[in-house]
Structure 1
């Protein structure tokens, strides 16, 4: 800078700096450590004459229409007096700048996926050929001319798209770069971040062998060694031949559901279906899972293979109605009845269908009500006899044993008791009838009381009379003779008793050696197995015939029995 009037000033003042910064640099262009002059700063006469440098603001130039001015004003200082300002105008020629790439983040893509397509046009949307004026005034554009792998993935340029493949088992943020070129041929590299979402790898799962109807516990399930805490769940599917339970739970895992990885530390439990067994057909499949999403399961599942060894199951004995199985009928105070035990086992089961070929035998009997029962185990025969004075529905229990095996070793099993019911038909006991009665010759005796035995009950419905000898029997009224059909007469019992009267044959008496007697038998209708009503079969239970003797004495008007 030189003063216009030729006088030497003391110094210079610079002000109104436009479009850039002004530096004092005696050694050449300013460096990054040089400080720009402030607006209104003073410079020495020497600096003003050759050491001032103007640096335009970045990417600005004097292109027509840009609206940007470059320069400053200078004043000379004479004895502390400022001269009028002298403008300094600077022209900044435009130069081509490198293209500028904007930041990009693409994805998400799945772990272990391949050739994920990224559109080139999407990446170039935020890229530019340089400062705005290069596109506006020069009409420059940018194009993508190359790609380079960065970290955790590989890329290839294929037409209008980039194919990205993450490294195996990687998830997180991967990177690559692409190169853009402007119309002037300048290039720049642009970094790209790629989001890769975790996908579980195939977990490990145990298996094992258990016995029929026994759970297999502690089946280990673990993440793949390639995975970390991002695998938070396991997906259970393909459950076959039983149920899967989490540790300590009584609720099975539904097929096609998730369980938390944190909940399987003690291992899963597999419970085979009842009575099921086999070398195959049992197990379940486990997939690793990131959260409870089917989108991030391990592509392959691990199969828990379980073998179930058959065991012999207990047989099942079924209750029986013995009346329908044997022709004999049990009678109160009657004889023992023996029948084959096979009649009871005919409707019993050796166990599940696979044990149908096993043999069954009765190994124990126990009375319950109304009978004594015994078993000849070798002969497989059962004998029972009604309890004394019992009639009605009697019962006893029996137990069967099979001849099954477990692991090819003999393993007989016994059933729970089954109940056998049978009907014991009533049999009347000897009625209570006076042993001897005395009456006068040709005289009707006093009423003779016929009564049920004290051991009998309401089942006594009548009395049967036969073998009347030496006279005639009358009903209790003494007027109506008993009519014997085929030598037998039956009179009804009123609450277990009835009355008859005896008339000796004319002019007959005991002193002549004549015999006077009749026999009395109590009658009880047979009970059915269901109730105490008379049997529809019309059977009767009779007592034995006790003989009762009537003695007729001459000249003795009456006597006691």
Structure 2
């Protein structure tokens, strides 16, 4: 007997009850029947009233409650769905979406799917959305994973459990190139070994530059895994380039960046070779200069003195003083220091000293004679740069009452005044073959007294006449 409780039914209300699984001969094989009854009346005992039986009416208060049979109906029996083993495949690192289905002979039934077990944690994870299985493999994992599922139809019938097998196919993983950095000094050379990793291949050995730095900053070369950077002259700052790596299966990595930092370095100044000309015995001055890309203030220094003279520097002015009477070629080496203390290269100043004729030098002379006796002395001069051939000339005559001097060739002749004795001085000059005159030189003449022999008055008069005659022949010569 099937008991159907009736609750909340008002007195005099009507309810329709279907009684299932009631066998009657008119239903075809494989189907079951049910009857439909109407109940009218008042429910006095809900615990007993309202049960469904083909011919039996309610018991208590049956005069107030009646059952009326409406009819018999035949329906097909509900069959639980059947789940089958399923197989799917996807690629490594790729989420797969797979449709689920079951066998159900009951037309019109819908189904709800549930997972009874997950794949192994190392393989991945799965969930069901509607009738679709979503499987996400673990990164870089490949192989076979399995899980179980079950279905329930819209009439509540539950299927068997079945296994789903998922095959994850291996896929070559691209290598991963590492970001790198390179730091070097201005005007130097630097290199870095590029690096890449690959989860399923040996470390890559093939690298390729994708983008190079601005040529104004420098140049880059690649040899194997070694990347070299040469900055442009005097450039400093930060620049970048990109590269990639290829594994043994031919897969290229995503681009990676190499950051290049070039630190500024003080540049030494540069000095150039110079030239300087002057005349013999004449100092000369040259203004020194230097070039420096990052400085403008310099200190100069002589590091190699000339062989025939001397050099000194005051500020940026170099003064060369040739050795006395020297002419020819010589040189000076110098360098410069910038305000940061960096010394330049050494450079040469080539010096030419043009010869100038030097005047001869007349030598002082001495002449000693006796009173009333003429005498002569050899005149002497020297010349550093001429043949020793000179012309002499009397510059200053002796005092008239001392006597008279004459120049004859390279000799000076002096005739003392009669009976005079003492010291007198004359001067002379010498001229070289190029016409240069010397300074004056002195000839000091000493006349020693001599005792005079007594003579008669007439003799003395005659002697005086002779002396006058001798003085008349004196002369001053200057050529």
Q: Given the two structures, how large is their TM-score scaled by the length of structure 1?
A: 0.41
More strand by share: 2
Q: Please identify the structure whose Cα radius of gyration is greater.
A: 2
